[in-house]
Homo-oligomer: A and B are copies of this chain.
Amino acid sequence: MTPLDIKNKVKQILTEHLEAKQLRKTSERFAILDEIYSMQGHFDIETLYVHMKNKKYQVSRATLYNTVEVLLECNLIIKHQFGKNQALFEKAYMYRQHDHLICQDCEHVFEFCDPRLQQIQQMAGEILKFDIERHSLTLYGKCQGVQKNGKCSHGFKPINKG
């Protein structure tokens, strides 16, 4: 699937969701979805707001918060709260389930995947008699550079700070 295919598909998913829920198909909602699926990695509302202000389509923060809620409902995005007060989001369609490892030095977010998590999730659900819909696993640690000389070896800038 090309990036364009993905954009068309998520547009279709949003359209169907809006119709099913009898919500209106506003240009803002599709512009926001398009912008989100043009971005890389995690993003916060303020970053999204600035991106859209600088580009083609200008929307208000209120509309962003509103639309993000809709996109969460139809699983087109995922919300994260990595121990900060500010929520981060990421695209969810066509992005395989993965978890996160955050460098405590530079705050860069790495992704990894371990199939055993699905088993843990399933087993915990059975034991506690829950239908588990999703999980959120985040590891916090220090890279070898930090361990050796106190300086981060990958040199990423903190997320959302530049």
Q: Which residues of A contact B (CB under 8 A)?
A: 79, 81-85, 87, 99, 101, 103-104, 110, 112, 114, 116-117, 119-121, 123-125, 127-144, 147
Residues of B within 8 A of A142 (CB): 130-131, 133
| Complex Cα–Cα for A83 and B143 (A) | 26
Residues of B within 8 A of A130 (CB): 101, 103, 110, 139, 141-144
| Complex Cα–Cα for A125 and B102 (A) | 11
Q: Establish whether residues B119 and A139, one from each chain, have CB atoms under 8 Å apart when the complex forms.
A: no
- Interface residue from B116, B123, B131, B141 paired with A131 (Cβ < 8 Å): B141
Residues of B within 8 A of A101 (CB): 124, 128, 130, 132
Residues of B within 8 A of A81 (CB): 81-84
Residues of B within 8 A of A129 (CB): 143-144
- Interface residue from B104, B114, B143 paired with A124 (Cβ < 8 Å): B114
- Interface residue from B79, B87, B133, B138 paired with A141 (Cβ < 8 Å): B133
Residues of B within 8 A of A117 (CB): 120
Q: Establish whether residues A127 and B147, one from each chain, have CB atoms under 8 Å apart when the complex forms.
A: no
| Complex Cα–Cα for A140 and B127 (A) | 14
Q: Which of A83, A87, A128 has the most CB of B within 10 A?
A: A128
- Cβ distance A73 to chain B, nearest Cβ, rounded Å: 13
| Complex Cα–Cα for A144 and B79 (A) | 25
| Complex Cα–Cα for A132 and B123 (A) | 24
Q: Establish whether residues A147 and B120, one from each chain, have CB atoms under 8 Å apart when the complex forms.
A: no
- Interface residue from B112, B125, B136 paired with A137 (Cβ < 8 Å): B136
